[in-house]
Structure 1
Amino acid sequence: MSALKIAVAGASGRMGRMLIEAIQNADDMVLAGALDVSGSPAIGTDAASFLGKPANVAIESDLAKGLANADVLIDFTRPEGTLKHAEYCAAHGIRMVIGTTGLEADHKAAIGGFAQKTAIMLAPNMSVGVNVTLKLLEMAAKSFSHGYDIEIIEAHHRHKVDAPSGTALKMGEVIADAIGVKLDDVAVYAREGITGERDPSSIGFSAIRGGDIVGDHTVLFAGIGERIEITHKSSSRVTYAHGSLRAARFLADKKTGLYDMQDVLGLK
């Protein structure tokens, strides 16, 4: 079987470089394209030069050039860029793995439309451990739906621009679905001043930003006389890279459709 040809968006960023390194080390994949925003000083440079082993793939801002040889594009950029990339990929039959966070409902709806023309795997967190944690939360929420207060606490590095994190929101969605409510109807994102007693039907969110924290997430089920905490901690972005490559392999034989990491891991 021929190697899967992968392109990376945001190639000069921290996650982009982690993905490129993982692709370069994979036996069944080859780096076939690299994208970055127009005006980036990385444009025109070799995408793998930071590894000391050039890949002979230049970083491009032009989508036609950057994706000319790609089977799959892996994208961890910003919502606006991701939508532009998804539109192009849908028009040219290029599969996508999307790990971009901060996507609004209309963004997700647009991606769903693009998935009618190409195969897309969309997930706020590519970590295998996080996605197994989501399954555990689904199971736990069904048992703790009454008599337990649910709070989601997440911590990330000082440079993260959105809050709560996409992973925290996904955790909330999984829990809300499991107990038969809509997250938008029960989520509480801020508390300040005299707030009154806690609404027992709410799902609370707390966001911490500081230092170089890669990503910590804890869901607290607090009852009377006991509390249960389900926690996942990331110490390296390499877990996201490895999960992304696993997702790309999953998409290799897919023509169209919108998938998530639960599909990739066979957890549905």
Structure 2
Amino acid sequence: MQTAPDSGTKIPARNGTSGTKSVLRLEQVEKSFHQRTADAYRALRGVNLEVSAGDFITIVGGNGAGKSTLLNVIAGSILADSGRVKIDETDVTRLPEEDRAAMIGRVFQDPKQGTAPRMTVAENLLLASKRGEPRGFKIAMNESKRQEFRQLLAPLKLGLEDRLDTEIGVLSGGQRQSVALIMATLKNPRLLLLDEHTAALDPKTAHKILDYTANVVAEHRLTAIMITHHLKDALNFGNRMLVMNHGEIAHDFDAAAKSRMTDAQLYTMVGELEDLDRPEV
């Protein structure tokens, strides 16, 4: 049974929303780096996780907790050493990143990642609209497409709807990240991965991007996992929160438990976990 967040009791990884189809399942996933050297460490330690359709999960934890490694293993940009990764009950553990791209949308911390800098805003969006289509499949840029892109960009209130022919590379970080988010969600992926996607933005723009993220996830009923270093955002967004430490899911809170937790309690919890000695390799 889920324990109240202020109890200090470790909460094991649990299943997603009861009665809802599983979109992602991790089974005893292990990942180590620099094996057989003095710098060897286990980034993921037997991680078990089930994510149900419609879950919006936030993840917090200190440096080296395994948060980004977890997303990389899910995306396929690095492969697990052992264990299983399943998307819609299909085993994708050994599939490379490009073979998972049709199922996964991703936005990175660096606004420069995920977009083509020498292509225009419209061209980047057109490219994203081809994700998952057969190789050689062509979509023409026409006024109908341009109007569709304007409608997607307008809610951000960053003026991007009037800059379709501007190269991505000359945009501000916030504008570029906004386009990257739209690109990642354009085809309604089975899973949306957000790796501290507002960390490099100014507070005002970050707030806009977070609100837009929440709206898109809700409107399209996406399943999302978001890493954040802002504890308040981890509590305010999503229906579930994971606290990671030393490559393990130390706590797994549902919406009710999250709602009872304060920023101060979460800050203390994360700090206490970081103070624990790292387990032996």
**Which TM-score tier does this pair reach, normalised by the shorter chain?**
under 0.3
Q: Higher relative contact order by CA 8 Å / sep ≥ 6: 1 or 2? A: 2
TM-score, length-scaled by structure 2: 0.25
TM-score, length-scaled by structure 1: 0.26
